Amino acid sequence: MTYIKDEILAQVEKPARYTGGEWNSVVKDKNAVDIRFAFCFADVYDIGMSHLGYKLIYHLLNDREDTWCERVLAPWPDLEEKMRENNLSLFGLESQEPINDFDFIGFTLQYEMSYTNVVNMLDLAGVPVFSTDRKEGDPFVIAGGPSANNTEVLADFVDIFSLGEGEEMLNDLMDLYKEWKKSKGNRFEFLKKAARIDGIYVPCFYEVEYNEDGTVKAHKVKEEYKDYAKEKVVKRVVKDFESAYFPGKLVVPYVNVVHDRIMIEIFRGCTRGCRFCQAGFIYRPVRERSVEKITEIANKLVESTGYEEVSLLSLSTSDYSNLGLLCDELLANIEDKKVNLGVPSLRVDSFSLGLMEKVSRVRKSGLTFAPEAGTQRLRDVINKGITEEDILKSSEIAFRGGWNNIKLYFMLGLPTETDEDILGIADLAHKILEIYKKVHEGKRARKPEITVSVSTFVPKPFTPFQWCGQISKEEIIRRQNLLKKALNRKIKFSWHDPETSIIEAALSRGDRRVGRVIYNVWRQGGRFDAWEEYMNYDRWICAFKEEGLDIEFYTERERDIDEVLPWDHVSVGVTKKFLKKELEKAKKGETTPNCMEKCTGCGAALYEGGICVDKS
């Protein structure tokens, strides 16, 4: 029986999002488990079910006999409306039961714009949204994922943060919980013990003092909790990635989701160190899986899911040490089962084009490049190890190989950007257009489709640009217009909504006080802010004002290099000292070699894993 009755399901879009029962979903006897875990993704089913990490942790927890982990996705507003009308509460897809008496409600935080949904889901679940209001018997609210690394913005709502990679940490936490539950201890005792686990941060044990100018004066452990809470919480990593948990099966959704295929992580982390990129720093050290292991996983998953495509997942596929061999091996294993291989986020060179021919006979539709900046000067500032020559050469190779569709990604508002850099984007696009003409000179050819797509730079914690200010809304619009005017009409231009980037910036580098703003926005009806049709900029601006906070303090202000940052109590391995050095080098336009060429001492070597060990 479904928790939401037919009468309502018949009235909402895609009812199969809510009915569960998918192949490989895990149903257990609730009386035979010790722990019930509601694993929430603060977005709609189609997005959450596209996320490998979400499925991975789901199966990891369910592989424990003592735990039943269920998926809980945010109901789309059409269903939420009906749920509230009919007093229905948030439920687990597997049991089709409300989650308010589960042991844990866990969130994976993938992007900041989903924070209003986090609050909304807690409320829909019938669980007090503020951590301080939860009583004995209420579930523990736990959060992890990349956005959790700046813990403070959601500190008021979350009981326990798990920082870094969850594979081992969650098992430690579940073991501890089971023991605690047996001992019939109180809530506080569990939190105390949990805080001792590496990578676990319990925000209520800490207090924040502010300076008169609003900056953080100190973030410290409250005197009475000194015995269990750590001053500095160091993120967890799985040292041995080769043997790291990977499920032998994955839930196969019925309805179309964004990424509906087998995804296999071929390595974790990125060697490159582009200075704007948070993922490039927080997932260090770089750790690879072997060709044999990946092939083994692929074979197992093809059999258990029946999917028609295997896709390789990483931050930069071309950096895998033996990509040619990997693809050959995989193809040899899956091709006769009529399974396709997808190899996304490749750097374009003759090798990768050959590879693309081999792996996908269909898609000649689009190639993407991410130069990120229009001039060499600025690309050096951001340490994007790519030259104009690389880009032009790659375009020529692609055009000669029959591609006519190229999409170029750039960011506007990067630190030190001038109008010259912006016009450089247009120049680069025009040069690519010229190359297309040259390649097809005198021949009949399809029209080239060149797209320039610009987003707005959002400074992120744990990057060398974490101290930099974001440009104002007016300035974003001026720069977008400048570029629009400079571009040849034959080039398609697309841009991100500046308002979303501004809110994202405020949430990304917010402190504990920003939680009040999120609560305020949610109270005013804010949810699904990652969706342009639901994001309401004025509501956010108004909420900042009402809470007595200045949004520009978080977005546009350049932070003093010695300022206490709201996330200084978290270590992701990469040290603040290294990030400072990188910022200095950025200002001078100096580049830093990638981990493959030379170790630059970022700090991730403390984990004694992956490339940090292999290279030395």
Partner 1 sequence: MIKVRLRYAKGDEIKYISHLDTLKLFERASRRCGLPVAYTEGFNPRPRFVFGNPLPVGVTSECEFVDIYFDKDMDPDKVVSDLNSVMPKGLRVLAGKVLSEDADNIMNVVSRSEYVVKVDMPEEDARKVIDVYEENSPLVIVKKSKNKEREMDIRPMVHNLTFKDAAFSIVTDAGNTSNLRPEVAIKALCGQVGVEVKITGIHRTKLF
Site residues (CB under 8 A) for partner 1? 6, 9-10, 15-16, 19, 21-23, 252, 254-256, 302-308, 337-339, 361-362
Contact 258, 46 (CB under 8 A): yes
Minimal distance in Å, beta carbon 362 to partner 1? Answer: 5
Residue with Cβ nearer partner 1 (21 or 324): 21
The minimum distance between CB 451 and partner 1, in angstroms, equals 25
* Least distance in angstroms from the C-beta of 329 to partner 1: 20
Q: Residue 4 corresponds to which tokens in the numbers above?
A: 């939401």
Phi-psi region of 96 (alpha: psi -120 to 50; beta: other; left: phi over 0): left
* CA–CA gap between residue 556 and residue 562 (Å, rounded): 17
The minimum distance between CB 147 and partner 1, in angstroms, equals 31
b or e along 54-73 (b: 16 or more beta carbons within 10 Å of the residue's beta carbon)?
bbbbbbbbbebeebbbbbbb
| CA angle 491–374–320, rounded 5-degree value | 100
Question: What is d(CA 349, CA 258) in angstroms, rounded to the nearest whole number?
Answer: 28
Kindly state the smallest distance separating residue 88's Cβ from partner 1, in Å. 17
Instruction: Tell the smallest beta-carbon distance from residue 15 to partner 1 (Å).
Output: 4
> How far is Cα 461 from Cα 24, in angstroms, rounded to an integer?
37
Beta strands of 32-103 (E only): which ranges?
35-41, 67-73
Q: Where are the alpha helices (DSSP H) in 509-536?
A: 514-523
Considering the complex, state which of residue 337 and residue 587 has its C-beta at the smaller distance from partner 1.
337
Question: Closest approach of Cβ 125 to partner 1, in Å?
Answer: 23
CB closer to partner 1, 361 vs 588: 361
134 contacts 158 by C-beta, under 8 angstroms: no
Give, in degrees to the nearest 5, the angle at Cα 259 between 253 and 263: 95
Alpha-carbon span 290 to 304, nearest angstrom: 21
Compute the distance between CA of residue 144 and CA of residue 148 in angstroms, rounded to an integer: 5
Residue among 310 and 579 whose Cβ is closer to partner 1: 310
Q: Which is nearer to partner 1, 128 or 401 (CB)?
A: 401
Q: Say if residue 285 is preceded by a cis peptide, omega within 30 of 0.
A: yes
Beta carbon of residue 80, minimum distance to partner 1 (angstroms, whole number): 18
User: Between 130 and 254, whose beta carbon lies closer to partner 1?
Assistant: 254
Q: In angstroms, what is the minimal distance from the CB of 26 to partner 1?
A: 13
Q: Of the two residues 198 and 309, which places its CB atom closer to partner 1 in the complex?
A: 309
Q: Which residue has the tokens 């994007």?
A: 384
Instruction: Report the distance separating Cα 47 and Cα 395, nearest Å.
Output: 32
What is the smallest separation between the CB atom of 296 and partner 1, expressed in angstroms?
18
Closest distance of CB 176 from partner 1, Å: 35
The kind and range of the H/E element at 154 are none
Dig out the tokens for 405 from the structure. Answer: 């569709």
Q: Which is nearer to partner 1, 18 or 115 (CB)?
A: 18
Q: DSSP letter for 568, please.
A: T
**Closer to partner 1 by Cβ: residue 28 or 539:** 28
CA 564 to chain centre: 25
Cα–Cα distance measured from residue 615 to residue 290, given in angstroms and rounded to the nearest whole number: 16
DSSP 296-343: HHHHHHHHHH--SEEEEESS-GGGSTTHHHHHHHHHHHHGGGT-EEE-
- Helix, strand, coil proportions of the chain in percent (round to 5)? 40, 15, 45
CA distance 616 to 596: 11
Nearer residue to partner 1 within complex by CB, 358 or 377:
358
Residue 281 burial (CB < 10 Å; 0-12/13-18/19+)? buried
Least distance (Å) between residue 401 CB and partner 1: 17
At its nearest, how many Å lie between partner 1 and the CB of residue 11?
A: 11
Of 14 and 478, CB closest to partner 1: 14
Nearer to partner 1, 180 or 307 (CB): 307
Burial 124-133 (b: 16+ CB within 10 A, else e): bbebebebee
Q: Which is nearer to partner 1, 186 or 256 (CB)?
A: 256
Q: How many Cβ atoms sit within 10 Å of the Cβ of residue 447?
A: 9
Residues 126, 131, 135, 138: what is their CA dihedral angle, to the nearest 10 degrees?
50
Rounded-to-integer distance, Cα 107 and Cα 216, Å: 27
Q: Which is nearer to partner 1, 15 or 593 (CB)?
A: 15
Least distance from partner 1 to the Cβ atom of residue 449, Å: 21
3-state class (DSSP) for residue 518: helix
Nearer to partner 1, 340 or 383 (CB): 340
Q: Shortest distance, CB of residue 310 to partner 1, whole angstroms? A: 12
- Which residue type occupies 420? E
